[in-house]
A and B are shown apart, each in its own frame.
Chain A
Amino acid sequence: MKNKVIALTSLGEVVRDGATVALGGAWFSNHPMAAARELLRAGRRDLHVISLIGSADVDLLLAGGAVRHLTFSMVTLEAFGLAPNLRRRVEDGSITITELTALSMEVALEAAGRNVPFMTFTGLGSPATSDLVELHPEVYGYVPDPFTGEQVLVVKAIKPEVTIVHALRADAQGNAQFDGTYGIDDELAKAGDTVIVTCEEIVPTEVIAESAHMTKVPAFLVDHVIEAPFGAHPTSHIPRYTIDGHELLGYAAAAGAGGDEQEAYLARLVGETEQQYRERVLGGGRGAVLAELVRQGKVLTGVAS
């Protein structure tokens, strides 16, 4: 069987300057952060980033000047504030954006995965209620329903050249498993021309077969597999680790300050290997605490009476 495993340091050879790259994850969950860091280390430029619900991943790439165009439905640091580099780059006009509603963007990616030119995403003659529809005639349009004659809103397929998602585990062929939050990672894998799976660990195919129901991205969709432990850090990868609140506070402060402070943050990331990054941010037992925070996640049972 084909061995698709490559080193994280080879990512820059797969993703070239100017590529259209979809990143997995949602909110602060399961973004391919090791890959985002590596794209900065490789000095990638002029990327068209596709992100349904981005956070520290997209803002970091914006901070590093790697992005020319962003297609998204949300980019936010949530409790940590507005995404500072999204604000900066959009407000100064230095990137182009295509902002879409979430459902329409998901359906656009679904269309790409099915290799159809467009799909509808509204009910019977439901009108556009978002100003985004009029703003993006290159994405949204209307077709007559052949059965009723009503105008139906459709969205054009969005096809990433490269998709990068982060999985719990994968085998060397690319069968990728997820347990906790995985957003639309499965749809991104169907839509992308070249699909890269980073994962917490590479395991033998027999291990995958024992829990085949957890495989959301099967091998035939996958081109490259990269082992990247804590590869979603400082975002979460449930059930392995929660978000790292302290690291995100650090990022939000540096990104919010911008200028020298942000440059220093970036210089440190770019100047170290991923192994050195892990030693720095997870040392002193911090990795074990992030795992314990998952265990501490509390279901409320028997408290209602």
Chain B
Amino acid sequence: MSEHTGEHTVAELMVCRIASEMEERGVTVLGSFTPLAYASYMLAKLTHAPDAHINGYNALGMPAIELAFMGAEAAASKGSTARWGFLAAVNVVHLANRGNVEAVSSAQIDGDASINLSVIGDYAHPKVRLPGGVGAPEVVQNYRTMLAYFGRHDRKVLAEKVDFATGGRFPVDPEERARRGLQNGPVKIITPKAVLVRDSTAPFRIESVHGDATVEEVVESTGFELAPNPDVVPTAEPTEKQLRLLRTEIDPFGTVQFDFMSGKERAGYLRELIDREWQRAVDALAARGDTGTCT
């Protein structure tokens, strides 16, 4: 579970930090189950970026929604303003440089901003076969701002070299990217300790540290080289309004906690989430006098 630091959890701080990257230009795509990113996008739409354009599954221009575990997909469809197949969307968004900001989550990242969603160990004989990267390789290469977030910050996750590069961002040099028709923008890594940034051929540097985390601790926990930065600042703390929106409107069920749980913790927590949402639906049916239900 995400630890509390003062009046908010680290998860909430990370959500607010990612949300601050959202802008009212280009497109963000909501796809693979990345609850912390989902919450960030919704928060941005309810605060500084109401016109941020989000494609949720096949629902384009989706509104801000409550992140119920089962009902979120239906909510994304409601109030969305277009329906497209995935191919139409990826051709126009990922390939044609309309992707603005998206936060991916992977098993590993390294100093080249390569991400691994394929295997732990050797590809042909993996120790752990991971799900695969789906659109993450295209996101990290083609979006203007690439965000990667992680539920833990250690040398296994922020690794010297990923076991396998499912995707990556190359070249890094702004002029070379422009020559190849690629959007130019920073790569930012958001972890429970810090925000790291890379925006040139120089290595990642620490942009900010959260709460009580120290620069030394972040350097020690990072498997790749970090460029010195004399101007490290504290990460902005969530505001009361952000916390209220997150807790009461966007994520009342607490789905963002998934990003900070081990597999075993998840199963019990997931059952609880499902039971609560199921009961809400049963109660709603009962309140309407719908009798087909006795579960």
- On whether the two chains bind one another, the answer is yes
Which residues of A pack against B, CB within 8 Å? 26-29, 52-53, 72-76, 78-83, 86-87, 90-91, 93, 99, 101-103, 106-107, 109-110, 121-127, 129-132, 135, 178-187, 216, 236, 238-239, 242-243, 245-246, 249, 252-253, 284-286, 288-289, 292-301, 303-304
Contact A293 B74 (CB under 8 A): yes
Stretch at the interface among B7-15, B201-209, B227-235, B282-290: B282-290
B residues within 8 A CB of A178?
58, 83
Question: What are 10 pairs between A and B in contact, CB < 8 Å?
Answer: A74-B32, A74-B133, A81-B263, A103-B94, A127-B180, A129-B140, A178-B83, A243-B73, A285-B294, A294-B71
Among B68, B71, B76, B273, chain A packs the most CB atoms within 10 A around the CB of B71
Which of B127, B167, B245, B273 meets A130, CB within 8 Å? B167
B residues within 8 A CB of A185?
85
Find the A residue at minimum CB distance from B33. Answer: A78
Contact A289 B285 (CB under 8 A): yes
Contact A126 B65 (CB under 8 A): no
Stretch at the interface among B42-50, B151-159, B218-226: B42-50
Contact B73 A297 (CB under 8 A): yes
A residues within 8 A CB of B137?
101-103, 129-130, 132
Give, as a whole number of angstroms, the nearest-CB distance from A227 to chain B. Answer: 22
B6 within 8 A of A: no
Contact B292 A285 (CB under 8 A): yes
B residues within 8 A CB of A101?
133-135, 137-138, 166-167
Give, as a whole number of angstroms, the nearest-CB distance from A57 to chain B. Answer: 14
CA distance A125 to B170 in the complex (A): 11
B145 within 8 A of A: no
CA distance A285 to B281 in the complex (A): 12
Which of B123, B132, B180 meets A135, CB within 8 Å? B123
CA distance A107 to B46 in the complex (A): 35
CA distance A82 to B33 in the complex (A): 12
Query: A27-B31, A75-B131, A246-B274 in contact; A299/B64 too (CB < 8 A)?
Result: yes
CA distance A107 to B42 in the complex (A): 30
Query: A86-B129, A129-B114, A131-B165 in contact; A184/B86 too (CB < 8 A)?
Result: yes
The A interface, classified by DSSP as helix, strand, loop or mixed, is mixed
A residues within 8 A CB of B65?
297-300
CA distance A74 to B140 in the complex (A): 16
Give, as a whole number of angstroms, the nearest-CB distance from B277 to chain A. Answer: 7
CA distance A238 to B250 in the complex (A): 21
Give, as a whole number of angstroms, the nearest-CB distance from A112 to chain B. Answer: 12
A residues within 8 A CB of B143?
none
Query: A129-B165, A184-B86 in contact; A298/B75 too (CB < 8 A)?
Result: yes
Question: Which 10 pairs show the lowest CB-CB distances between chains A and B?
Answer: A297-B74, A285-B293, A245-B274, A297-B75, A76-B131, A297-B71, A74-B134, A129-B168, A298-B66, A78-B33
Find the A residue at minimum CB distance from B128. Answer: A87
Which of B77, B95, B134, B282 meets A73, CB within 8 Å? B134
Contact A295 B284 (CB under 8 A): yes
CA distance A288 to B59 in the complex (A): 24
CA distance A184 to B129 in the complex (A): 25
Give, as a whole number of angstroms, the nearest-CB distance from A305 to chain B. Answer: 10
Contact A242 B292 (CB under 8 A): no
Contact B278 A245 (CB under 8 A): yes
CA distance A156 to B196 in the complex (A): 37
B236 within 8 A of A: no
Contact A129 B129 (CB under 8 A): no
Query: A74-B32, A130-B165 in contact; A288/B280 too (CB < 8 A)?
Result: no
Contact B284 A99 (CB under 8 A): no
B69 within 8 A of A: yes
Contact A243 B134 (CB under 8 A): no
Give, as a whole number of angstroms, the nearest-CB distance from B148 to chain A. Answer: 14
Which of B58, B125, B138, B266 meets A181, CB within 8 Å? B58
A residues within 8 A CB of B126?
90-91
Which of A102, A123, A242, A245 meets B182, CB within 8 Å? A123
CA distance A182 to B87 in the complex (A): 11
Contact A83 B57 (CB under 8 A): no
Contact A300 B77 (CB under 8 A): no
Give, as a whole number of angstroms, the nearest-CB distance from B45 to chain A. Answer: 8
Contact B78 A299 (CB under 8 A): yes
B258 within 8 A of A: yes
A residues within 8 A CB of B69?
79, 245
Find the A residue at minimum CB distance from B126. Answer: A91
Give, as a whole number of angstroms, the nearest-CB distance from B52 to chain A. Answer: 13
Contact B138 A103 (CB under 8 A): yes
B295 within 8 A of A: yes
Give, as a whole number of angstroms, the nearest-CB distance from B165 to chain A. Answer: 5
Which of B85, B97, B278, B292 meets A246, CB within 8 Å? B278
A residues within 8 A CB of B280?
296
CA distance A91 to B90 in the complex (A): 31
A residues within 8 A CB of B250?
300
A residues within 8 A CB of B284?
292, 295-296
